[in-house]
Amino acid sequence: MDKLTIDAEPYPLEFDPDRVALLIIDMQRDFVEPGGFGEMLGNDVSRLRSTIEPCGRVLAAARAAGIAVIHTREGHRPDLADAPPTKLARGRLEVGIGDEGPMGRVLVRGAHGHDIVPELYPAEGEPVVDKPGKGAFYETDLHLILKNRGIETLIVCGVTTEVCVHTTVREANDRGYECVVLADCVGSYFPEFQRVALEMIKAQGGIFGWVSDADRAVAVLGRIRRDAA
Ligand code: C5J
């Protein structure tokens, strides 16, 4: 199929529709749902919850287009052997990673809070990458999964914008992927960080990648579906 173009900043991004994937980062209950770890830390989770609806539209469009969809989750083994002691100690929290939280053990694989919100739950065949760090490439098989599918371009959604989304986009950029981050599909607890994080991605001619939004992504993904039909 011919190349397509997604309208984006700092300029429209041309991509090969056979080599594009949707990457949804850490849309886990503990970050996004009321009563989870994020809210327990005093954050306003509504700032993150507003991403669920546009993410859902992009996810539906990606599935209809038949492109690769990959989900990530931040978290650790139940024995915490893959969690750096510095990460466990950070913040001097009363309830931190590995402790019993409102939705089970915080950021521990298998806990209710660690899993992905039902609205965006992975479908059968969609890889879920469990990552111990903020970046989705660090100590995971994400790069291998993408290489095996011939992926060159990543449409990026998820939370939080300035932490796991940014770290992953930077890692992807250094590995030669072109990332387009959908502004309304990524969220931060801090409005200022949301704004600046998106500015940073597209500054200097797209130093880390491109910024677009759900509507523009759905429109271009719809062209894949129509052309394939
Ligand atoms: C954080 C993440 N913020 N997924 N994780 O700790 O951004």
Domain layout of the chain by residue ranges: 4-228
Q: What is the pTM of this model?
A: 0.97
Contact predicate 200/39, CB 8 Å: no
Pick from 31, 33, 71, 116 the residue to mutate for probing ligand 1's pocket: most ligand atoms within 8 Å of its CB.
31
Report whether residue 188 contacts ligand 1, using a CB cutoff of 6 Å: no
Q: How far apart are CA 8 and CA 24, in angstroms?
A: 18
Q: What DSSP line would sit under 136-205, residue for residue? A: SSTTSSHHHHHHHTT--EEEEEEE-IIIIIHHHHHHHHHTT-EEEEEEEEEE-SSHHHHHHHHHHHHHHH
CATH superfamily of 4-228: Isochorismatase-like (3.40.50.850)
Whole-number Å distance, alpha carbon 138 to ligand 1 midpoint, is 14
Active-site residue flag, 131: yes
Structure tokens at 6: 């997604």
Give the total residue count for the chain. 229
Whole-number Å distance, alpha carbon 159 to ligand 1 midpoint, is 6
Instruction: Name the active-site residue from 55, 164, 179, 185.
Output: 164
Whole-number Å distance, alpha carbon 1 to ligand 1 midpoint, is 36
Of 226, 158, 212, the closest CA to residue 5 belongs to 212
Pick the residue whose CA is nearest to atom 5 on ligand 1: 164
Closest ligand 1 atom to Cα of 25: 4
Of 220, 206, 214, 126, the closest CA to residue 173 belongs to 206
Reported as half-sphere exposure (CB side, CA atoms, 13 A), residue 81 has a value of 1
The pLDDT of residue 226 is 52
Whole-number Å distance, alpha carbon 178 to ligand 1 midpoint, is 22
Report whether residue 160 contacts ligand 1, using a CB cutoff of 6 Å: yes
Which residues fall within 8 angstroms of residue 105, CB to CB, at 6 or more apart?
78, 98, 99, 111, 114
Closest ligand 1 atom to Cα of 26: 4
Which residues fall within 8 angstroms of residue 163, CB to CB, at 6 or more apart?
134
Active-site residue flag, 26: yes
Ordered per-residue pLDDT tens for the chain, 229 residues: 899 999 999 999 999 999 999 999 999 999 999 988 899 889 999 999 999 999 999 999 999 999 999 999 999 999 999 999 999 999 999 999 999 998 999 999 999 999 999 999 999 999 999 999 999 999 999 999 999 999 999 999 999 999 999 999 999 999 999 999 999 999 999 999 999 999 999 999 999 999 999 999 999 999 996 544 4
Q: How far apart are CA 170 and CA 167, in angstroms?
A: 5
Active-site residue flag, 179: no
Report whether residue 184 contacts ligand 1, using a CB cutoff of 6 Å: no
